[in-house]
Amino acid sequence: MKRTVLITGASNGLGVEFAKIHAAKGDNLVLVARGKDKMNLLKAEIEKRHPVSVYVIGRDLSDPGAPRTIYNELKTQKIQVDYLINNAGFGDFGLFEKSNWEKQLQMINLNVTAVTYFTRLFLPDMIKNKYGKILNIASTASFQPGPTMSVYFATKAFVLSFSEAIANEVKGTGVTVTTLCPGATATGFKTVASLDNSNLFKGWIASSKSVAEYGYRAMMRGRTVVVHGLMNKIMAFSVRFAPRNIVTAIARMKLKAK
C-alpha cells in the first residue's frame, strides 16, 4: 500500500533528504515550506526518478494559523497523511536581552506551535486509521539550557518533552511518535542562526543525508527518542548526572565564537 508523508521545512537540508528517502521507498510526498520554487524543483527531480506524486504547499509556518490551513487543504484534496515529519525550525544566536523579539516569536511559533498544532491535527486521523508515524525533529540542545541561544534550546526541550509524552499516550493505537535529536549537521541552520564561527561547528559535522537516514529508520521502527552520533549520545547521557550550572557553562562555551 502506497503511503503519504508530509514533510515541513522541505526546501533544504534534512527536509530534502527525508523527501528523497521516502520517494525512493515509494511514498507520495506533501512538501511544505516557504521556498516554493525550491520545492517545485525538488518535485520535478523526484517525480522524474520515482513513480510517486509530490504535492507542494508554500506556507510560512511561523504563522500560527498555517497548520490548520494546510490540514484543510489536504482534506479538500483527499490526501491522507500517514507519516508526519515536523522538521521545520530555526535558531538565533545572541544575548536574550539584545534579541529581536519578533524573531524570537517567529522561532517559538515555528519550533513549538507548528509542531504541536500539526501533531494535534493529524494524530486523530492516524488513530482512527490505526496506523501512522510522527517524527519530530528536536536536537541535542533539548538536553540542557543554552546561554546565547536560550529560546532555541528551550523550544527543542519542549519538542522532546512533548513528543515523549504523546508517544506514551498513543501506545497500542497503531501510531508511534519518534523524536530525533541530531547534533551539529550540515544544513543551512548555522548561517540562519549566525553560528558560522561558533565552536559548535568547528568539529565533526554530520551530513544531512546520514541524519535523515538515521531518523527514517528510527521512525519506521517506532523508537521513541534517538540521538544521532556516538559523541552526541554520550553528551546527552552525561548531562543527566552533571550539576546544571556546569552543564549550562559548557553549553555556552560550545556556542562561543572562536
Catalytic residues: 152
**Cell matching residue 169:** 499516550
Q: What is the pTM of this model?
A: 0.88
| pLDDT band for position 233 (cuts 50, 70, 90) | confident
Structural domain boundaries, residue 140 = 4-255
Looking up residue 11, the CATH number of its domain turns out to be 3.40.50.720
Residue 247 near residue 144 (C-beta atoms within 8 A): yes
In this prediction, residues 80-107 reach a mean pLDDT of: 96
Per-residue pLDDT tens digits for 118-173:
999 999 999 999 999 999 999 999 999 999 999 999 999 999 999 999 999 999 99
| pLDDT band for position 237 (cuts 50, 70, 90) | confident
Closest residue by Cα to residue 146 from 187, 86, 195, 206: 195
DSSP 111-125: IIIIHHHHHHHHHHH
Looking at the structure of the chain, the number of domains it has is 1
Closest residue by Cα to residue 165 from 211, 107, 115: 115
